[in-house]
Copies of this chain bind each other. A is one copy, B any other.
Amino acid sequence: MPEKKPHSNWRAKVHEIIYEADTPAGKFFDIVLLIAILASILLVMLESIESLDQQYHSFFNVSEWIITILFSIEYILRIISVKKPLKYITSFYGVIDLLSTIPKYLSLIFVGTHALVAFRAIRLLRIFRILKLVRFLSASNHLATALKASRAKISVFMLTVVIITIILGTVMYLVEGKEHGFDNIPKSVYWCIVTLTTVGFGDITPQTPLGQIIASFIMIMGYGIIAVPTGIVSAEYTKHSKDEEEASNKAKPKSNPIIHTNSQSCANCLTSNHKDGAKFCYNCGHNLHLNSP
């Protein structure tokens, strides 16, 4: 049971608007936020185009400052309206929200850092909150389970790939040498990765017959071993889909809990994914309807 601190009414209201997407005001806020994020990313991108920057420099600068200040206000409101500000600040979204505002302020002191504003792109993940949040996140979690299950196998695979590229990169360095663009072993290893992953930039290419034979071997290997991670993820995903299906078949009499969760977030402990119609936080027992801890 959390201790009950007095909480001003406007803070409860702010919490509802900022942290939840069920009320019209909350939904409106989230959509405005998304548009602001997209606009902000677009601005940084366009500003980096020299010809546009020379023409509209002050417009870009002012717009960015407006968005940055809005984001800063939002960040402060988030801290104020939540009961445990430290928990929010140290959470994933808290760190991202901070990183989204800082670079612009830093650009007053250091030149060139404001491009880091592009880290705001991570804030786009909030889009899941609005567009049927829970179902999407469940889809992504489902995928995450499959990826987690195949982690060990993919690590073994990746390490093998790294060892192969180091060895073959060295061999290519010895075979082709500086005169054909394989300047040193790291560059050779880089070329080997470019080739094995079938990217093939073509800025460095083998010129000697032996080098081309080894390159052919690397390419066919790269073409073949892509089957390995694909096969692993496919199989794990099939398995987990089946497990889930069986589990849901057994649990059919019960209503599916995924559908009936909502976007409410506990004002006390920030837990989300509450059941529809839940009155108390399932995690800390705080009254959800009061929205003030």
Contact between B121 and A135, CB atoms less than 8 A apart: no
Known: A50-B184, A156-B136, A174-B112. A227 touches B223 (CB 8 A): no
Range of interface residues on A (Cβ < 8 Å): 35 or more
Given contacts A233-B227, A237-B231, contact A200 B189 (CB under 8 A): no
Question: A48 to nearest B CB, angstroms?
Answer: 4
Scoring A170, A213, A223, A231 by chain B CB atoms within 10 A of each residue's CB, the highest score goes to A231
Given contacts A45-B184, A167-B121, A174-B115, contact A161 B215 (CB under 8 A): no
Which residues 170-198 of A have a CB within 8 angstroms of B?
A: 170, 173-174, 178, 183-187, 189-190, 193-198
Which B residues are in CB contact (< 8 Å) with A216? Answer: 190, 193-194
Q: A136-B152, A201-B201, A232-B237 are in contact. Are A44 and B185 (CB under 8 A)?
A: yes
Which of B116, B153, B184, B197 sits near A49, CB closer than 8 Å? B184
Which residues of B are found within 8 Å of A142, using beta-carbon distances? 153
State how many angstroms separate the Cβ of A24 from the closest Cβ of chain B.
25
CB neighbours (8 Å) of A154 from chain B are: 224
Q: Which residues of A contact B (CB under 8 A)?
A: 41, 44-46, 48-50, 112, 115-116, 118-119, 121-122, 124-125, 127-128, 135-136, 139-140, 142-143, 146-147, 152-159, 161-163, 166-167, 169-170, 173-174, 178, 183-187, 189-190, 193-203, 205, 209, 212-213, 215-216, 219-220, 222-224, 226-239, 241, 245
Let me know if B199 and A195 touch, CB within 8 A.
yes
Contact B166 A50 (CB under 8 A): no
> Shortest Cβ distance from A223 into chain B, in angstroms?
4
**Shortest Cβ-Cβ A-B pairs, 6 listed:** A118-B170, A199-B200, A231-B233, A201-B202, A197-B223, A202-B202
- CB neighbours (8 Å) of A169 from chain B are 118
Q: How far apart sit A55 and B194, CA to CA, in the bound complex (Å)?
A: 29
Not counting A48-B184, A48-B186, A231-B236, a sample of 5 additional A-B residue pairs whose C-beta atoms are within 8 angstroms of each other reads A44-B170, A49-B183, A118-B167, A197-B198, A236-B241
A233 engages B228 (CB within 8 Å): yes
- Name the one of B163, B186, B209, B230 contacting A230, with C-beta atoms under 8 angstroms: B230
B229 touches A224 (CB 8 A): yes
**CA–CA, A3 to B232, complex, Å?**
46
Q: A223 CA to B140 CA in the complex, in Å?
A: 20
Among A122, A198, A241, the most chain B Cβ lie within 10 Å of the Cβ of A198
Across the interface, which residues of B come within 8 angstroms of A41, CB to CB?
Answer: 166
Q: Pick from B112, B158, B200, B241: contact of A220, CB below 8 A.
A: B158
For A215, list chain B residues within 8 Å (CB).
Answer: 190, 194
B residues less than 8 Å from A212 (CB atoms)? 186-187, 190
